[in-house]
Amino acid sequence: MPQLDFEVITLGHGSGGVLTNKLLESGVFDLLKNPILDDHHDGAIFQLEGKLAFSTDSYVISPVFFPGGNIGELAINGTVNDLAMCGAIPKYLSLSFILEEGLTMQEFWEILLSIKFAAEKAGVYIVTGDTKVVERGKGDKIFINTAGVGQIHPKAEISSRKVQAGDKIIVSGNIATHGIAIMSVREGLEFETSIESDTANLNHTVKELLDTFGSDIHLFRDPTRGGVATVLNEIARDTKLGINIIQKNIPVIEEVYGACELLGLDPLYVANEGVFMAVVSADVANDFLAKLKTLENGLDAAIIGEVVEEHPKQVVLQSKIGGKRVINMLVGEQLPRIC
Amino acid sequence: MPQLDFEVITLGHGSGGVLTNKLLESGVFDLLKNPILDDHHDGAIFQLEGKLAFSTDSYVISPVFFPGGNIGELAINGTVNDLAMCGAIPKYLSLSFILEEGLTMQEFWEILLSIKFAAEKAGVYIVTGDTKVVERGKGDKIFINTAGVGQIHPKAEISSRKVQAGDKIIVSGNIATHGIAIMSVREGLEFETSIESDTANLNHTVKELLDTFGSDIHLFRDPTRGGVATVLNEIARDTKLGINIIQKNIPVIEEVYGACELLGLDPLYVANEGVFMAVVSADVANDFLAKLKTLENGLDAAIIGEVVEEHPKQVVLQSKIGGKRVINMLVGEQLPRIC
């Protein structure tokens, strides 16, 4: 952490004047240094050829520091992954802070360091940004927005229009881990566990899969808020096809499963971070799974179901004991501010 | 406003599940309808050739509704203008909300309508977005982030490296209007006035100037937070040149000037919205001014000073009564949450 003559964020740091400049020049710009950011203009300028993807998310997770990470890396990984889900190679990110007066510089610095490492790991540059400060009690420590631009992979043909009956549905890893990690430290809900968030950038794994399987991959989606069940319902709705899921094939860490039982939650509705879902043509499904298992964050991948002609727009689960039931979209709010 | 079965925003609207979908499908997607947004993926996909500009800002203005506008159009115009200041033609915007539980749908809808109209007027598409909800007391009605992508104008060569001694400094209109309009309704500070914010998109005017004057325009900047004085200081710092400003040439509406006197403020430090500054080569300065005066939002434009070899990195003002004084960057916070 740099030597500063202030220990907490004040309203003046959002003024656009001397204090804002001091905050940025004191270490933020140095930390995130790259040739485009160094231009210090109102925006970043760069060249990118071909089809582009553009995505954004605001991050309001509570608490800001949680088992396995903090809001900083979450904000980088989240937008990197949204771009990857479009079949894109993430390139450039914007970074915008809404800070609450009183946030300590030490907390801010720790978050900045996580941002730096997450961006480096994902291979993206932070090229433009903004800092606002709101009065105490008008925010909650820190909210972060990132937006990102990426290049569509030349072999990618990601579209719900390509999904057809027979396609297999794959999850890239154990589900519900992130949501349970956050709940374990949420005020009024704390319970003892060693579960950590699996927040991670998925873009390198996605790129390798696109390199190999190209247009046989019909859809990527990351089941964050609303969980796997909500994404499955969105796919069924958009494609007007049915989906069958086999409960025993859905990978869940035992401790996470136990925590879900304790809290009366279905893991299918719990938020994820470092997990994606893919819908791939049946011909390549086994090869896709085998390849994915060799890649970063893919060891626990599994085929969990398939797309069918029957029961259009509905998701049907075959339970461990053999019964069948319809899985709906998440109703209401399972846990606010999970990402 | 669409018929909805809810009147206020609840935490469930940020769940990613049924309520989030209901909110978006109930009217938001319809209102902002365009072919790219309609794809409903995690991100937007489009093609853009040439050099690109990318910019972001978060908007936390208080109050959300103010004389002359609301946070919605401010969030569109702000990012549109940041792109224009890079010499770009703004094309695609992302739109991300952080809503406070309890925001009424009527307020939200009014803001959405302003967003729609502002985007149409600027000629940009909103192509991707995000909605989060935080608990009552953890936000302040609504924060908005926009990011934007634009194409650099083929004739644009905007860079502080191009600024040289002799260049003229132009402001496009009356300064300090936005800041004073916000202060007039700020709690504890209310005073009677007919002053309204001049929030506006500047991209069409900037494009026409670039069409005509191309590389003779060395710099564009919009003096939002920190005001004209802060931008001038940033230019002096980045170019390592001096700047001379003539007070009597700086356009300020009389009522705004009066309010500044009353509040003990220097209009040079008050935030602006629908105003930009340009640094242009001396050869074209008069023609540039004449042209600008015929364009949207340019009627009150004026040459306010010039770049000089003397007193490098310093901004010197020649006052109305003939004296000279150094103008520094804004120190501290004149008024928080002005944009």
Peptide bond before residue A63 is cis, with ω within 30 degrees of 0: yes
A274, A300 in Cβ contact below 8 A?
A: no
Q: What is the rounded CA–CA span in Å between residue A46 and residue B219?
A: 18
CATH 3.90.650.10: does it fit domain A160-327?
A: yes
pLDDT tens track for A12-61: 898 888 888 888 887 788 889 888 887 767 789 999 989 999 999 999 99
Taking CA–CA distances from B51, the nearest residue in chain A reads A47
Maximum Cα–Cα distance across chain B: 67
Q: Is A81 exposed, middle or buried (0-12, 13-18, 19+ CB in 10 A)?
A: buried
Q: A336 and B135 in contact by Cβ < 8 A?
A: yes
Q: Does A276 touch chain B (CB under 8 A)?
A: no
Structural domain boundaries in chain B: 11-152, 160-327
Q: Does B10 touch chain A (CB under 8 A)?
A: yes
Q: Which of B276, B269, B172 is nearest to B225 (CA)?
A: B269
Tell me the residues of chain A between 217 and 236 that have a Cβ less than 8 Å away from chain B: 221-222, 224-226, 230, 234
pLDDT of residue A216: 98
Which stretches of chain B drop beneath a pLDDT of 70? 40
Tell me the residues of chain B between 149 and 208 that have a Cβ less than 8 Å away from chain A: 149-150, 152, 158
Taking CA–CA distances from B151, the nearest residue in chain A reads A45
B269, B227 in Cβ contact below 8 A?
A: yes
Q: Which of B145, B208, B140 is nearest to B172 (CA)?
A: B208
Q: Is A284 exposed, middle or buried (0-12, 13-18, 19+ CB in 10 A)?
A: middle
Q: Does B46 touch chain A (CB under 8 A)?
A: yes
Selected residue with higher pLDDT from A335 and A277? A277
In chain A, what residues touch B128 (CB-CB under 8 Å)? 54-56
Closest Cβ–Cβ partner in A11, A56, A331 for B18: A331
Closest Cβ–Cβ partner in B17, B85, B145 for A230: B17
Query: Is residue A258 very low, low, confident or very high in pLDDT (cuts 50, 70, 90)?
Result: very high
Average pLDDT over residues A66-87: 97
**How high is the ipTM of this complex?**
0.95
A76, A129 in Cβ contact below 8 A?
A: no
Q: What is the rounded CA–CA span in Å between residue B55 and residue B57?
A: 7
Which amino acid belongs to residue B133?
Answer: V
In chain A, what residues touch B333 (CB-CB under 8 Å)? 10-12, 14-15, 17, 19
Residue A267: left if φ>0, alpha if ψ -120 to 50, beta else—which one?
Answer: alpha
- Mutation site, B6, B13, B54, interface A, largest A CB count within 10 A: B54
B109 sits in which H/E element: helix B105-122
- Judged against a pLDDT cut of 80, whether residue A5 lies above it is answered with no
Which amino acid belongs to residue B200?
Answer: A
Phi/psi of residue B152, nearest 5 degrees: -65, 130
pLDDT of residue A6: 82
Q: Does A34 touch chain B (CB under 8 A)?
A: no
pLDDT of residue A17: 82
Q: A82 and B43 in contact by Cβ < 8 A?
A: yes
- Give the relative orientation of helices A71-85 and A203-213 as an angle to the nearest 10 degrees: 10
| Secondary structure of B179-243 in HEC code, one letter for each residue | HHHHHCCCCCCCCCCCCCCCCCCCHHHHHHHHHHHHHHEEEEECCCCCHHHHHHHHHHHHHCCEE
pLDDT tens track for B139-166: 999 999 999 999 999 999 999 999 999 9
Q: B86 and A43 in contact by Cβ < 8 A?
A: yes
Query: Is residue A183 very low, low, confident or very high in pLDDT (cuts 50, 70, 90)?
Result: very high
pLDDT of residue B101: 96
Q: What is the rounded CA–CA span in Å between residue B308 and residue B305?
A: 10
Tokens of A184: 């374990």
Alpha-carbon torsion angle B111, B76, B145, B1, nearest 10: 20
Q: Does B107 touch chain A (CB under 8 A)?
A: no
- Judged against a pLDDT cut of 80, whether residue A131 lies above it is answered with yes
| Beta strand spans in chain B (E) | 44-47, 51-59, 65-66, 69-70, 88-100, 125-134, 142-152, 168-171, 217-221, 242-246, 277-280, 302-308, 315-318, 324-327
Give the 3-state secondary structure of residue B178: helix
pLDDT of residue B188: 74
Pairing type for strands B242-246 and A69-70 reads: unpaired
Q: Which of A208, A225, A215 is nearest to A301 (CA)?
A: A208
- Mutation site, B22, B25, B55, interface A, largest A CB count within 10 A: B55
- How close A100 gets to chain B, by Cα (Å)? 10
Q: What is the rounded CA–CA span in Å between residue A165 and residue A281?
A: 9
Q: B140 and A140 in contact by Cβ < 8 A?
A: no
Pairing type for strands A51-59 and A142-152 reads: antiparallel
- Exposure pattern of B216-243 as b/e (b: 16+ CB <10 Å)? bbbbbbbbbbbbbbbbbbbbbbbbebbb
Query: Is residue A236 very low, low, confident or very high in pLDDT (cuts 50, 70, 90)?
Result: very high
Q: Which of A108, A53, A112, A51 is nearest to A80 (CA)?
A: A53
For tokens 């519900």, the residue is A176
Closest Cβ–Cβ partner in B21, B82, B83 for A329: B21
- Mutation site, A5, A20, A24, A42, interface B, largest B CB count within 10 A: A42
Phi/psi of residue B132, nearest 5 degrees: -120, 150
* CATH number corresponding to B11-152: 3.30.1330.10
For tokens 């000073």, the residue is B305
Neighbours of B274 (CB within 10 A): 23
Q: B11 and A336 in contact by Cβ < 8 A?
A: yes
- How close B144 gets to chain A, by Cα (Å)? 9
Q: In this structure, is the dihedral angle defined by the CA atoms of residues B70, B71, B72 and B77, taken in order, positive or negative?
A: positive
Tell me the residues of chain A between 295 and 314 that have a Cβ less than 8 Å away from chain B: none
Q: Does B139 touch chain A (CB under 8 A)?
A: yes
- Mutation site, A5, A41, A334, interface B, largest B CB count within 10 A: A41
For tokens 């954004």, the residue is A56
- Judged against a pLDDT cut of 90, whether residue A173 lies above it is answered with yes
Between A and B, how many residue pairs show a Cβ–Cβ distance under 8 A? 265
In chain B, what residues touch A45 (CB-CB under 8 Å)? 51-54, 86, 88, 152
Phi/psi of residue B56, nearest 5 degrees: -145, 155
Q: B55 and A43 in contact by Cβ < 8 A?
A: yes
- Judged against a pLDDT cut of 90, whether residue A254 lies above it is answered with yes
